[in-house]
């Protein structure tokens, strides 16, 4: 089975991709969509919060099926709409939202030493941390970003 997608911002502006496998769909469409990152498709950049997404799952479309601008019509006839399912799966597999914490210290070195000594960080709202960074708050001595690799989602079996 293959996935066929359409991203649109209006009835006149859309981009489509055909014959994506599950990995391509996840990596190029769903992950950016779930984190509101720009998606490049069809010589255009799409902002998820300003666009709509439709995902169809069905048989691969061969070149004759895609010719003369008939690809999407053929996809809709031969595939089923799985948009809700794949978005729910992507949301379930997404990592938890980022958490911001603060380590008190008068300098970068002191904050790092506190971290190394397993100091107890105090939780703060991510928005408050972003605001302090954006306004160059003199109380912010350092910003350390720690990321965890996202585990690969389990493949669905047909």
Q: Look at residue 156 in the predicted model and tell me its pLDDT.
A: 45
For residues 6 and 150, the model is more confident at 6
- Element of type H or E holding 85: helix 83-93
**Can you tell me the distance from the alpha carbon of 21 to that of 111, in angstroms, rounded to the nearest whole number?**
46
Q: Look at residue 129 in the predicted model and tell me its pLDDT.
A: 73
Q: Please report, for the chain, the start and end positions of each structural domain, with discontinuous segments joined by +.
A: 2-93, 95-158
**Can you tell me the distance from the alpha carbon of 89 to that of 85, in angstroms, rounded to the nearest whole number?**
6
**Can you tell me the distance from the alpha carbon of 131 to that of 144, in angstroms, rounded to the nearest whole number?**
15
pLDDT of residue 6 exceeding 50: yes
Among 140, 147, 65, which Cα is nearest to 106's? 140
**What percent of the chain is modeled with pLDDT above 90?**
41
Mean pLDDT over 85-112 rounds to 72
**Can you tell me the distance from the alpha carbon of 2 to that of 99, in angstroms, rounded to the nearest whole number?**
36
Q: Look at residue 26 in the predicted model and tell me its pLDDT.
A: 93
Instruction: Tell me the whole-structure pTM to 2 decimals.
Output: 0.61
pLDDT digits (tens, 9 = 90+) for 10-26: 778 899 999 999 999 99
């Amino acid at each position: 089975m293959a996935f066929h997608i359409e991203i649109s911002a209006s009835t006149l502006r859309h981009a489509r991709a055909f014959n994506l496998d599950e990995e391509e769909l996840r990596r190029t469409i769903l992950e950016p969509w779930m984190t509101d990152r720009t998606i490049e498709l069809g010589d255009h950049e799409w902002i998820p919060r300003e666009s709509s997404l439709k995902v169809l799952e069905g048989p691969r479309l061969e070149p004759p099926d895609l010719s003369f601008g008939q690809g999407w019509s053929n996809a809709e006839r031969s595939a089923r709409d799985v948009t809700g399912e794949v978005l729910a799966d992507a949301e379930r597999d997404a990592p938890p939202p980022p958490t911001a914490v603060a380590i008190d210290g008068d300098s970068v070195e002191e904050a790092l030493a506190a971290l190394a000594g397993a100091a107890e960080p105090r939780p703060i709202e991510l928005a408050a941390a972003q605001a302090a960074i954006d306004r160059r708050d003199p109380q912010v001595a350092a910003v350390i970003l720690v990321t965890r690799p996202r585990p690969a989602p389990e493949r669905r079996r047909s």
